Amino acid sequence: MPIPFASMDRMNWNTKAIDRADRLARARHALGRRLLGKQVATDAVGALLEATLQPGDRVCLEGNNQKQADFLARALVQVDPQRVHDLHMVQSVLALPEHLDIFENGVARRLDFSFSGPQGARLAKLVSAKRIEIGAIHTYLELFARYFVDLTPKVALVAAQAADAEGNLYTGPNTEDTPAIVEATAFSGGIVIAQVNELVDAGTTSLPRIDVPAGWVDFVVRAPKPNVIEPLFTRDPAQIGEVQVLMAMMAIQGIYAEYGVQRLNHGIGFDTAAIELLLPTYGESLGLKGKICRHWALNPHPALIPAIEAGWVESVHSFGSELGMEDYIRARSDVFFTGADGSLRSNRAFCQAAGHYACDLFIGSTLQMDLDGNSSTATLGRITGFGGAPNMGADARGRRHASAAWLKAGQQARTGRGGAAGTPRGQKLVVQMVETFREHMQPAFVERLDAWTLQEQAGMDLPPIMIYGDDVTHVLTEEGIANLLLCRSDAEREQAIRGVAGYTAVGLARDRRMVENLRDRGIIRRPQDMGIDPRDATRNLLAARSMRDLVRASHGLYAPPKRFRHW
Amino acid sequence: MKDIAPGLETLEYVFPGERPAGDFAPVLAGVVGSGNLEVLVEPAPGSDCSIRIETSARGFGGIWEAVVRDFHARHPLAGVRVSINDMGATPAVVSLRLDQAVSELTP
């Protein structure tokens, strides 16, 4: 006699499919003739949302680092909170005011996210007023991972450049998060709604390429205006100073050349822009072309144009795109990942994986670092999260393939150690590059991170630390480089950090003898120890000293957004 | 910003010199601009190195003292007057500018 399965108690194993069919039927009924195939009339977007959304739904409103589903965001603010309320938002970035308006009017209640840069202060206020419950703050990759485990969206509201009559989507160069969001939603009985800038009629015009196939998309709405997008990665070389040039020289000479770094990711900022602009000048003079910086996980930084033109760069895979770089990318398809149509295909999930597993070095900046090397950009009164930095700036513990840079870093960290800590393996180079004082003389080095106070104020499980000290391998300031891989005690680490902390209170409190000892052992290296004379650090070393220089270097292909045109 | 009160602050330091700078044409390095500074180095009677700072960023005397002390340790000049006009430059920029100025001293 067969043993009855427990599953026989369950009457229905397809509730998601039934729920999905119900929602689609409700939408068809509510829209009537304002629905044609998958195309929804622009003015019917509110009816569409009220028909497909239910109270308590988990919803991903595509808020990317750059591209925003802004039309759908405005529509969501305007739904009737009697019908749609208590939504659980799961989105990587809170960039627009509407992303928080829905919490103020009761449409949404709970939030899981990665980054809230521009909305960080308002988010903190709403949390302390108990208008928002935060589930957790994630890295990008971590949030995408949870889309496929326990934060799967029921409804995804995404943005694309164009759709055809069947509902195929072309995202244009800023594909960003869209594939990850849509895949999780479409394959779990969810509903995918896309706002598009244009509709093409397959009869006369067709999509340049298909980024999301029609079978994964339920509704398409043409937005009255093109979606909002921010050029976050453009840095005007005119604003790079000599101290940043000096630090870039040390990065190239003291770290990139020292380890032979071929594959890397740069954080945003003037410090890393200076490195990019020094490759074809200072890097060239050191004979490093072809020996460092060949493969990048990086948005299309305009500051990288001179290095690309000088033949330094073999490949760049991107999280998103950058406004104004479209024609340049199209003309340099050997370097960038482009579709058969010629335009960039970015993908935040894949590029985050690439940065984590396939890069040997991450270099970025921070607002504060403590004496354990923990660093954070969290400041009081703001809840922002860190986006991708914690994945870029962390040793990839699951990595198994070797490279010279990875092996050398691992060897420095493990030499002389026994047991599990001495088992040979490589290590990712994680460099924190900071001037000892930021603007308004705010010290970058502190005894105690603001993150601890923020944890107390906001009742977080952990202090919001961006990059943990035990992942940081080098601290680079205008005073020199501290190689934390070579430190063998907490006391050595502390003095190594104090020893490059300049005239901050933390730096002035150094043990001078111990710091000199660390310098003798090569744990601290001053510019002179690397053969660098700080007086050579002039803006003349920058391969481009203005936006106009970047345009010229691109042979006129780079078209900077208006706000960066000063000529 | 809250740490920076309006108005200039004047700071003066005098160190006993060791290496006579001799007679030289005055040297000017840098420009007065936000986050930047101007350094003027001139010959002066006696064997001291005197440094006078006018800065728009008030309340950082302790840091200035450490910066100019280190400068004098690098370049123990005698018979020199250094005048600094600062508009909120970081210590890194100040040190760099001082070194640039000294490297141009030609008797």
* Whether B92 and A439 lie within 8 Å, measured CB to CB: no
Residues in B touching A435 (Cβ below 8 Å): 90, 92
Query: Across the strands, what pairs with A196?
Result: A160, A222
Q: What is the pLDDT of residues A158-195, one digit of tens each?
A: 999 999 999 999 999 999 999 999 999 999 999 999 99
- The 3-state DSSP composition of chain A as helix, strand, coil percent (nearest 5) reads 40, 20, 45
Joined tokens for residue A510? 């150094």
CA distance A336 to A305: 12
* Domain A237-551 belongs in CATH node 3.40.1080.10: yes
Comparing A12-16, A261-265, A272-276, A406-410, the range with the smallest average pLDDT is A12-16
Residues in A touching B92 (Cβ below 8 Å): 243, 246, 435-437, 478-479, 502
Length of chain A: 567
pLDDT at residue B1 is higher than 50: no
Residues in A touching B4 (Cβ below 8 Å): 440-441
Rounded to an integer, the average pLDDT of A297-321 is 98
CA distances from A22 to A6, A12, A18, A157, A214 (A): 28, 15, 6, 18, 20
* Whether B67 and A508 lie within 8 Å, measured CB to CB: no
- Confidence class for position B2, pLDDT limits 50, 70, 90: very low
B31 touching chain A per CB within 8 A: no
Q: What is the pLDDT of residue A284?
A: 98
- Confidence class for position A125, pLDDT limits 50, 70, 90: very high
3-state helix/strand/coil string of A15-53: HHHHHHHHHHHHHHHHHHHHEECCEECHHHHHHHHHHHC
- Confidence class for position A3, pLDDT limits 50, 70, 90: low
User: A503: distance to nearest CA of chain B, Å?
Assistant: 6
CA distances from A293 to A20, A256, A261, A283, A296 (A): 48, 8, 6, 10, 7
* Whether A503 and B91 lie within 8 Å, measured CB to CB: yes
- Mean pLDDT for all residues in chain A: 95
Joined tokens for residue A42? 């622009």
Give ipTM to 2 decimals.
0.91
Pair B81, B52: CB distance under 8 Å = yes
Residue B35 corresponds to which amino acid?
G
CA distance A343 to A320: 12
A534 touching chain B per CB within 8 A: yes
Pair A103, A91: CB distance under 8 Å = no
Q: What is the pLDDT of residue A543?
A: 98
Residue A17 corresponds to which amino acid?
A
CATH C-level class of B9-103: alpha beta
* Whether A503 and B63 lie within 8 Å, measured CB to CB: yes
* Whether B99 and A535 lie within 8 Å, measured CB to CB: yes
* Whether B92 and A243 lie within 8 Å, measured CB to CB: yes
Residue A191 corresponds to which amino acid?
I
* Whether B91 and A437 lie within 8 Å, measured CB to CB: yes
- Confidence class for position A6, pLDDT limits 50, 70, 90: low
Q: What is the pLDDT of residue A202?
A: 66
pLDDT at residue B4 is higher than 70: no
Same fold for the pair A17-222 and A237-551:
yes
Q: What is the pLDDT of residue A453?
A: 93
Could you say which of A243, A437, A441 has the minimum Cβ distance to residue B96?
A243
CA distance A316 to A298: 6
Rounded to an integer, the average pLDDT of A53-80 is 97
Q: What is the pLDDT of residues A455-473, one digit of tens each?
A: 988 888 999 999 999 999 9
Domain ranges of chain A: 17-222, 237-551
pLDDT at residue B34 is higher than 90: no
B8 touching chain A per CB within 8 A: no
How many angstroms separate the first and last alpha carbons of chain B? 42
CA distance A184 to A149: 9
Between A439 and A218, the more confident residue is A218
pLDDT at residue A109 is higher than 90: yes
CA distance B88 to B72: 21
Rounded to an integer, the average pLDDT of A489-493 is 97
Query: Across the strands, what pairs with A40?
Result: A35, A221
pLDDT at residue A483 is higher than 70: yes
User: A533: distance to nearest CA of chain B, Å?
Assistant: 10
Q: Which CATH number fits domain A17-222: 1.25.40.20, 3.40.1080.10, 1.20.910.10, 3.40.50.1100?
A: 3.40.1080.10
Q: What is the pLDDT of residue B6?
A: 63
Q: What is the pLDDT of residues B63-81, one digit of tens each?
A: 999 999 999 999 999 999 9
Whole-number percent of chain A with pLDDT over 90:
92
Q: Mutate which of A503, A506, A516 to disrupt the B interface (most B C-beta within 10 Å)?
A: A503
Within 242-271 of A, beta carbons closer than 8 Å to B belong to 242-243, 246
pLDDT at residue A326 is higher than 60: yes
A367 touching chain B per CB within 8 A: no
Q: Determine the Cα angle at B19 with ends B15 and B20, to 5°.
A: 95
Angle between helical axes of A270-278 and A242-250 (0-180°, round to 10): 60
**Which residues are CB-neighbours of A16 under 8 A, at least 6 positions away?**
A188, A189
Could you say which of A243, A437, A535 has the minimum Cβ distance to residue B103?
A535
Residue of chain A nearest B61, judged by CA positions: A503
Residues in A touching B100 (Cβ below 8 Å): 535
Q: What is the pLDDT of residue A378?
A: 86
B5 touching chain A per CB within 8 A: no
Q: Mutate which of A379, A441, A442, A515 to disrupt the B interface (most B C-beta within 10 Å)?
A: A441
A100: Cα within 13 Å, side-chain hemisphere = 22
**DSSP string across A183-206:** HHHHTTT-EEEEEEEEE--TTT--
Q: What is the pLDDT of residue A509?
A: 97
A238 touching chain B per CB within 8 A: no
Pair A275, A542: CB distance under 8 Å = no
- CA torsion sign for A168, A174, A318, A395 is negative
A494 by DSSP, 3-state: which? helix
